[in-house]
Amino acid sequence: MSKIFHPNICLFMGACTIPGKCMIVTEMLPHGDLESLLRDKKIELSLITKMKMARDAALGMNWLHCSNPVFIHRDLKSSNLLVDDNMHVKVCDFGLSQLIPRDKKVKDKQNAKGTPLWMAPEVMMFQEFNEKCDVYSYGIVLWEILTREEPFAQYQSFDKFKEAICIRHERPEIPADCVPSLRNLMESCWHPEPSKRPSFREIIERLDTVMIDCAIRDENARQFWKDNNFVKKDEVSWSEFIGPFVKYVGLPDNDVKSLNISCLHAILAEKQARENSHEVVKIEEFGKIIDWFGPLESNVLPNTDSIFDRIRKLLMKAWFHGEITTSEAQIRLSGLPGGTFLVRFSSTHPGCFTISSLTQANTSIKHQRVSFAAGKGFNFNGHWFNSLEDIIKDSNNLCIPCPGSKFQSLFVDQPHQIIGYT
């Protein structure tokens, strides 16, 4: 352990070797173990955050498996993955670990090591095994990360569980809405035949694609991210992003081009926390913007709105406040006259909007969701509308736009510079 230095492996710092008082000192990770975090449903974890955690675990395991001799963990499970302040995951607990020569196999003669729910079938059956037993365990962990549930909770008898896993090749049920690339990765990790399971190096490469598929639902937008060498990146600089995106969409070189780019910049570019850092586009935020303003289609037809136009036209509305929370909406509406309202991005439903408004009697604040479907329009209270503006016009209760939208400064009568685009 003293020779293991990797950002995704819990750091060994020292040990007490006095007989009867043997203890290991490691770095402290304040969020505790991943299993406890996943089971606490009060903690919100986006799909992309969960996939980043999965990738962290794979990076740590890949480092172990690339050592010579090969370092097999033998007890990989969610409780042996610790979480730091930044939600990064680190592998820990090497009490059952084993070093074996590369391309060799070993076998337990009795008392198979590990935790049964995560144990590979070949280990459970006292057959020869190699580092691919960790890959099986990782497949179960990946399912845990996705579902936040306990695996195989239906089994109380070890004998019945062993028969289900080793003979009938039963595995946890994957949710129907799981993206295909993630489903395929889980199924290959827990394949009954160890030789058909991927290495952790391959798992990491496949997770790069899974991350994109999970973050971006629109097929064209997903392909754009993949085609521009962004595959291994969770974020790219604004200057690196905007040129290819303008070209992909086919943004016309007209009198609103610079304003269109400024509007996209206002809702997508994010300043990094570090001092003197540049602005970035995060893959998750890009996926959200496409959900709200898509679908994304390149080379739009003449006289039709591009995604840039749709963004600009919405940001022009004084009542649109963008990505603010429910509590922030309530603060902005507090003390204003009845009938005051604002429209914002939904914080809980991808691709949806929320209308927050004060009742005419000024007794309470309502938050009503508006869903969007390409080709159908906006659904509000069971009725379809062509635009959010049509919803406002149709309602007698939405009378006064709430002041405070940060986007209004974009439309002051002054020349616009094309931000970061050449």
pLDDT in tens, 110-164: 777 889 999 999 999 999 999 999 999 999 999 999 999 999 999 999 999 999 9
| Same domain as 181, residue 253 | no
| Same domain as 80, residue 168 | yes
- Three-state SS for 129? strand
| Same domain as 384, residue 339 | yes
Other C-beta atoms closer than 10 Å to the C-beta of 272 total: 12
Q: Which residue type is seen at 41?
A: K
> Within a domain: residue 76?
yes
> Within a domain: residue 74?
yes
Q: Which of 278, 313, 348 is the last residue of a domain?
A: 313
Distances (CA, A) of 275 to 147, 186, 278, 279: 37, 39, 9, 11
> Within a domain: residue 162?
yes
* In 257-415, beta strands by DSSP E: 270-271, 279-282, 320-322, 340-345, 353-358, 365-373, 377-380, 383-385, 400-401
Structure tokens belonging to residue 394: 């149709």
Residues of the chain with pLDDT under 50: none
> Within a domain: residue 418?
no
Q: Which positions are catalytic?
A: 75
Q: Tally the domains of the chain.
A: 3
| Same domain as 246, residue 353 | no
Whether the model clears a pTM of 0.75, i.e. scores above it, the answer is yes
Tell me the C-alpha distance between 302 and 310, whole Å.
15
Instruction: Tell me the residue range of the domain where 306 lies.
Output: 230-313
| Same domain as 69, residue 180 | yes
Q: Which of 313, 348, 373 is the last residue of a domain?
A: 313
Answer whether 238's CB lies under 8 Å from 265's CB: yes
Q: pLDDT at position 306, please? A: 86
> Within a domain: residue 150?
yes
* Cα dihedral sign, 63-32-143-93: positive
| Same domain as 323, residue 340 | yes
Q: pLDDT at position 68, please? A: 86
> Within a domain: residue 98?
yes
| Same domain as 192, residue 71 | yes
Helix (H) or strand (E) holding 26: strand 23-26
Q: How confident is the model over 227-247, as pLDDT tens digits?
A: 888 888 889 999 999 999 999
> Within a domain: residue 409?
no
Q: pLDDT at position 239, please? A: 92
| Same domain as 66, residue 94 | yes
Helices 200-215, 219-227: inter-axial angle, 10-degree rounding: 130
> Within a domain: residue 14?
no
Q: pLDDT at position 301, please? A: 54
| CATH number of the CATH domain containing 355 | 3.30.505.10
How many H helices and E strands in the chain? Answer: 14, 16
What's the CA angle centered on 259, arms 234 and 354, to 5 degrees? 65
| Same domain as 256, residue 333 | no
| Same domain as 141, residue 237 | no
| Same domain as 201, residue 106 | yes
| CATH number of the CATH domain containing 46 | 1.10.510.10
| Same domain as 188, residue 162 | yes
Q: Which of 185, 215, 245 is the last residue of a domain?
A: 215
- Three-state SS for 90? strand
Q: Which residue type is seen at 356?
A: S
Structure tokens belonging to residue 194: 């160890």
